Amino acid sequence: MENSKIFTEEPEQELWRSLLQFSYKANIDRYFQERQIPINATDGETDTLANCIAGALLQADEYYKASKNVSLQVEPVLLYYGTTNLLYAMSVLLNGSVPQVSNHGMHIDTDGGETFIADTKIKFDHYSDGGIHVFARDLGFQLNLCEYSPWQLGDFLDSIAEISVDFERCYQAKKSNVLLLDVVKTPDGMVEKIYPPEDSILQTLNHIEGFNTSYLNPQAARDRFGNEYIVLHHKMNGKEIHQTAYSGQPYLQVAHERGGKLITVTRELNMYVSLFTLGSLCRYHPDIWNPFVTQDSTGEKLLIEKLLYYSRRMIPNIVLNRIMGKQITFVSDKYMPEDRIHLVGEHEVKEIVRNEVQLQMKKELAQTVIRIKRG
Q: What is the pLDDT of residue 341?
A: 45
Q: What is the pLDDT of residue 150?
A: 85
Average pLDDT over residues 280-286: 96
Q: What are phi and psi of 30, to 5 degrees?
A: -65, -40
Residue 271 reports pLDDT greater than 50 = yes
pTM of the prediction? 0.86
pLDDT band at 162 (very low <50, low <70, confident <90, very high): very high
Q: What is the pLDDT of residue 336?
A: 54
Residue 172 reports pLDDT greater than 90 = no
Lowest mean pLDDT among 15-19, 54-58, 218-222, 284-288: 218-222
Roughly what angle, to the nearest 10 degrees, separates helices 300-324 and 286-295?
Answer: 110
pLDDT tens for residues 186-195?
A: 777 778 999 8
Q: What is the pLDDT of residue 342?
A: 45
Residue 367 reports pLDDT greater than 80 = no
- Which amino acid is residue 185, in one-letter code? K
Q: How far apart (Å, rounded) are the C-alpha atoms in residues 206 and 262?
A: 10
Is residue 6 within 8 Å of 13, Cβ to Cβ?
A: no
* Exposed/middle/buried for residue 237 (C-beta within 10 Å: 0-12, 13-18, 19+): exposed
Residue 248 reports pLDDT greater than 80 = yes
Lowest mean pLDDT among 150-159, 325-334, 354-363: 354-363
Is the Cα torsion angle 124, 126, 128, 131 positive or negative in sign?
Answer: negative
pLDDT band at 340 (very low <50, low <70, confident <90, very high): very low
Residue 348 reports pLDDT greater than 60 = no
Residue 285 reports pLDDT greater than 50 = yes
Average pLDDT over residues 30-34: 94
Buried b (16+ CB within 10 A) or exposed e, 272-290: bbbbbbbbbbbeeeeebbe
- Which amino acid is residue 367, in one-letter code? Q
Selected residue with higher pLDDT from 121 and 203: 121
Is the Cα torsion angle 266, 246, 170, 274 positive or negative in sign?
Answer: negative
Angle at 193 between CA 191 and CA 195, to 5 degrees: 175
Closest C-alpha among 76, 84, 122, 77 to residue 103:
84
| Residue 30, strand partner residues | none
Range with top average pLDDT, 81-95, 98-112, 323-337, 361-375: 81-95
Q: How far apart (Å, rounded) are the C-alpha atoms in residues 175 and 158?
A: 7
Q: What is the pLDDT of residue 163?
A: 97
pLDDT band at 176 (very low <50, low <70, confident <90, very high): very high
Selected residue with higher pLDDT from 12 and 236: 12
Residue 338 reports pLDDT greater than 70 = no
